[in-house]
Amino acid sequence: MVVLYDTLARARVDVTPADGRALTVYSCGPTVYRYAHIGNLRTFLMADLIRRTFEYTGVEVHQIQNITDVGHMTDELTDSGRDRMELAAEVEGRSPEEIAGFYTEAFLVDIDAFNIRRARDYPRASEHIPHMLELIVKLLEREHAYEVDGTVYFDVTTFTRYGALSGNTLDALHADHRKVIGDTKKRHHADFVLWKAAGPARQMRFQSPWGEGYPGWHIECSAMSMAAFGEGFDLHTGGEDNVFPHHEDEIAQSEGAVGHQVVRHWTHGAHLLSEGRKMSKSVQNVYDLRDLEQRGHRDPLAARLLFLQSRYRAQMNFTLDALAGADTTLARWRRHVADWDAGTTGNDDLAGKYEQRFVEAITDDLDTPAAVALLAEVMSSDALSHGDRTALARRWDRVLGLDLARDAGASVDVPSEVAELLEQRERARETKDYAEADRLREAIRAQGFDVEDTPGGPEIRSR
């Protein structure tokens, strides 16, 4: 049994497949107008861990993750401002379609590098316009929506459960929370756009019964999730910034269209801070995987390990120093697995107890800090044989996804310039010039290799 925190229930709940066989999961994906930053990757990692945990316990998972390639407004609360896709196209001198294609491919490259298992499908918003129009027509027929001059709004006063997810009930919302200057078309200030009439400068536009226009952000996810899973599925994931208005509005329009609950459980990941502050380009603390590589952090899975050391629904502060520490730890564990991989197993009773503790940790609302601490304990436990340690590490890596066995059985092809640096370092150590030896170790590290001093001499491994 896997326990997750359900945002709607405001409690930890047992999550099981409704059909008793496969867990159906819809994960909010990227809006493909830029590279995914590490905060995005942490949210995607949460969904990956959920999937891996269920599969580890023998439950099949059917996961899809959307690609928002139609874009949405720069102000998500008010549906106002410029479309992000079109802004990126303008800045980069490409068409919106070229922007979408480029950053969709970049997203897939990044999740592969982060060892996030690919979803079963990646539906694109641009391919689901008919499904969106169908939902909007249903909402109009059921009198949950109204049209004004080619724009269709959802009437929040017709949905009595509005605010159940976020706590932002209609009584609690201020009248200006979605106020758009000059927009007097809404019946209620909290009404949101389902379909927006295209202005003369709008590039991405589609035909509809109400004239040319484009979908609101929220209707996209309702259409894609229900196209994949029908009128009900088990779990919806996303970042906590999606709770309101995105997921709140998604509940209203999905349930308004079909007349019953669609999503059984909602799970959200917390914000990632960077260097103690919210990530912002103005303070230059936004990192993507390319930024980290330029700063010498070549292994994306070091960031994965760092993220695993905090609970997914706890706010976390990312620092480059902490990343360097995780990199060192990950390299050490991989060396151990490579060195001990051929060892014999023996202490089945103790190994079984460790396995039980690991399963208890991951099924307890993804307690990855406890799971990582358990891995560290196993790797340093003299009560277990080398074979037992590597067997547990390999098994647990099915959930942790750290590629711990990457170097097992692999020979290292050392470039001549790195071999020369290693010889220089040995000469420095022989003359007790330890400062120079340390400098040369860092030079070797910068070339992508680690040096470990052993009783039999220095050993070099690829990073």
Residue 442: count of CB within 10 angstroms of its CB = 12
Name which of 78-82, 195-199, 219-223, 350-354 the model is least confident about: 78-82
Q: Is the peptide bond before 245 cis (omega within 30 degrees of 0)?
A: yes
List the beta bridge partners of residue 193.
Answer: 153
What's the rounded Cα separation, in Å, for the pair 280 and 115? Answer: 26
Whole-number pLDDT of residue 96: 87
- Does residue 81 carry a pLDDT above 70? no
Residue of 15 and 429 predicted with greater confidence: 15
Does pTM surpass 0.75? yes
Whole-number pLDDT of residue 447: 84
Tell me the angle at which helices 38-56 and 300-308 cross, rounded to the nearest 10 degrees: 70
List the beta bridge partners of residue 73.
Answer: 83
Q: What is the 3-state secondary structure (H, E, C) of 388-451?
A: HHHHHHHHHHHHHCCCCCCCCCCCCCCCHHHHHHHHHHHHHHHCCCHHHHHHHHHHHHHCCEEE
Whole-number pLDDT of residue 401: 98
3-state helix, strand, coil split of the chain in percent (to 5) is: 45, 20, 35
What's the rounded Cα separation, in Å, for the pair 319 and 274? Answer: 6
SS3 66: coil
HSE, side-chain direction, 13 A CA sphere, residue 171:
4
Average pLDDT of the chain to the nearest whole number: 91
Pairing of strands 11-15, 2-6: antiparallel
Q: What DSSP state is assigned to residue 259?
A: S
Burial class (CB in 10 A: 0-12, 13-18, 19+), 308: buried
What's the rounded Cα separation, in Å, for the pair 318 and 299? Answer: 16
What's the rounded Cα separation, in Å, for the pair 172 and 179? Answer: 15
Average pLDDT over residues 308-315: 97
> Tell me: the pLDDT tens digits for 2-17?
999 999 999 999 999 9
Name which of 208-212, 280-284, 288-292, 320-324 the model is least confident about: 280-284
> Tell me: the pLDDT tens digits for 123-166?
999 999 999 999 999 999 999 999 999 999 999 999 999 999 99
